[in-house]
């Protein structure tokens, strides 16, 4: 398992990438956040996890490849965003993405829009912030 946490600056919105082996669940996201239900932050972590699960939508990789005239996902650029996408696709997992806005959302969305998190284990890949 790998985890990196930080905060994004000078941004009013961000997107996030999710790769999941099976189905994206609130429990998987809570595990990534590393906050136990008994913690005083438990209710907020629950809201963040619910937001991520609700906002994560299938990533239209075929459309993206066609738009940029790439034959396979391996042809995508070598930058941190696309490297994360490639990592998920190489595993054969479901690829999802979502958006979070600092200006429009509730507290959970605001936190996601400012959070820089990279988490990966044998069921979930979650990256927010640096995209």
pLDDT in tens, 28-68: 999 999 998 789 999 999 999 999 999 999 999 999 899 98
Question: What pLDDT is recorded for position 6?
Answer: 43
What's the CA gap between 24 and 58, in Å, rounded? 11
Separation of alpha carbons 32 and 103, rounded Å:
25
pLDDT at 1 over 60: no
Reported as a pLDDT band with limits 50, 70 and 90, residue 9 is very low
Q: Which contacts (CB < 8 Å, 24+ apart) does range 84-88 have?
A: 84/17, 84/125, 84/127, 84/131, 85/17, 85/59, 85/61, 87/19, 87/120, 87/125, 88/17, 88/19, 88/125
The answer to whether residue 71 scores a pLDDT higher than 90 is: yes
- On the question of pLDDT at 97 being above 50, the answer is yes
Note the pLDDT of residue 4: 44
- Write down the residue that tokens 């696309």 correspond to: 82
The string of DSSP codes covering 22-42 is: S---HHHHHHHHT--TTSTTH
Q: What tokens appear for 122 in the block? A: 């044998």
Q: What is the mean pLDDT of residues 82-93?
A: 95
- The predicted model scores a pTM of 0.85
Average pLDDT, the chain: 87
């Amino acid at each position: 398992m790998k985890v990196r946490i930080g905060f994004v600056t000078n941004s009013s919105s961000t997107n996030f990438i999710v790769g999941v082996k099976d189905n994206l669940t609130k429990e998987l996201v809570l595990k990534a956040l590393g906050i136990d239900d008994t913690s005083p932050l438990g209710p907020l972590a629950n809201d963040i996890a619910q937001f991520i699960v609700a906002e994560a939508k299938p990533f239209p990789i075929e459309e993206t490849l066609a738009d940029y005239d790439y034959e396979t996902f391996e042809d995508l650029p070598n930058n941190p965003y696309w490297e994360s996408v490639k990592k998920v696709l190489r595993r054969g997992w479901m690829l999802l993405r979502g958006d979070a806005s600092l200006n429009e959302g509730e507290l959970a969305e605001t936190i996601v829009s400012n959070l820089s998190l990279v988490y990966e284990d044998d069921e979930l890949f979650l990256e927010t912030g640096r995209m």
